[in-house]
Amino acid sequence: MGKVKIKKKETRIDMTAMSDVTVLLLTFFMLTSTFLQKEPIQVITPPSVSEEKVPVSNLLSVLVSPEGKVYLEVLGSQDSTDNKRKGSENVRAHMLQNMAEQYNALHPGANISFTKEELATFSKLNAFGVPITFMKKWLNMDTEERDKILQQKDAGIPIDMNEDPNRPNEFQMWVRAAYNSIDDELKDAIVKGSGIAIKADQTTPYSVVNVVMDNLQTIKYNKFTLMTALKSEED
């Protein structure tokens, strides 16, 4: 009796459908992800045992270098399809406009203003730290030039101590501009203390950080947080 020949089945697996799904997922994440921008200074925060997480929205971060240079980062509410008005980009643009209005009112003869293109450029910046009188020129530089400016010794937002709340310095005006934001959630967070965070390097002298805290308290912002890194068992 002859042997029955068993028909061999094809072992190849059609991966076309899987490839299509992978490409679709990759495209989705690329379009919906927000890429972190490089900070103007490298800040290694001191360790602590606090496990409270840093907010990812409605936050004004104050970056302080060991040399005392101050930079700001601003985040509005999480961007959503139904409320773009409160997104970070719109909050930043409105903040810059408010800062210019404050400065012009406090300095007779000043006429600082920004075009739609300059406001759009500022709205996409993660961090900034130049005097407001230099801001217009800075915004019209390319990305590489702007980064170089932020690394210079005279960079940073002017923060000379001023005890008169009626004559605020530029740092204090920026904080007020954030408070006057179009995003009520950011305003509420600043009032409660979770909306302002000081992020200083672990080598930054306390006297430098104290200047920032004194500036905030002078304009009646007495609640803020200090960013730290979670302390490990080895620490």
Q: What span, in angstroms and rounded, lies between the C-alpha atoms of 72 and 208?
A: 16
Residue 57 has pLDDT above 50, yes or no: yes
114 and 136 in contact (C-beta within 8 Å)?
Answer: yes
Please tell me the predicted confidence (pLDDT) of residue 184.
85
With both helix axes pointing from N to C terminus, report the angle between 88-106 and 116-123 in degrees, rounded to the nearest 10. 120
Taking the model in full, what pTM does it have?
0.76
User: Measured in whole angstroms, how far is the alpha carbon of residue 208 from the centre of its chain?
Assistant: 21
For 130-141, give the DSSP string: S-HHHHHHHHTS
Cα(121)–Cα(127) distance, rounded to whole angstroms? 12
Nearest Cα residue to 65 out of 174, 197, 201, 229: 201
Find the angle CA(50)-CA(213)-CA(129) to the nearest 5 degrees: 100
pLDDT confidence of residue 112: 94
The tally of CA atoms less than 13 A away on the side-chain side of residue 95 is: 34
Q: Residue 210: helix, strand or coil by DSSP?
A: helix
Overall number of domains in the chain: 1
pLDDT bin (cut points 50, 70, 90) of residue 108 is confident
Residue 235: predicted pLDDT: 46
Q: What does the pLDDT look like over 193-205, one tens digit per residue?
A: 889 999 888 888 8
Locus of tokens 């970056």 = 63
Q: What is the pLDDT of residue 231?
A: 46
Residue 167 covered by a domain:
yes
Average pLDDT over the chain reads 81
**Within 10 Å of residue 114's Cβ, how many Cβ atoms?**
18
pLDDT (0 to 100) of residue 67 = 86
Q: Is residue 19 part of a domain?
A: no
Instruction: Tell me, yes or no, whether 179 lies in a domain.
Output: yes
Higher pLDDT, 194 or 84: 194
Residue 126 lies in a domain: yes
Confidence at residue 232, expressed as pLDDT on a 0 to 100 scale:
44
Residue 212 has phi, psi (to 5 degrees) of -65, -45
What confidence category does residue 56 fall into, taking pLDDT thresholds of 50, 70 and 90? confident
Residue range 2-54, pLDDT digits in tens: 566 666 666 666 666 777 778 777 787 666 655 555 566 566 665 554 556 76
Domain ranges, residue 76: 47-230
Does residue 119 sit within a domain? Answer: yes
**Residue 154 located in a structural domain:** yes
Band of the pLDDT at 215, cuts 50, 70, 90? very high
* 100 three-class SS: helix
- Per-residue pLDDT reduced to its tens digit, 172-197: 999 999 999 888 888 899 888 889 99
The reply to whether 187 falls in a domain is yes
> Is the confidence at residue 81, as pLDDT, over 60?
no
Instruction: Evaluate whether residue 145 is within a structural domain.
Output: yes
Q: What pLDDT score was predicted for residue 160? A: 79
Q: Which pLDDT score, from 0 to 100, does residue 228 have?
A: 65
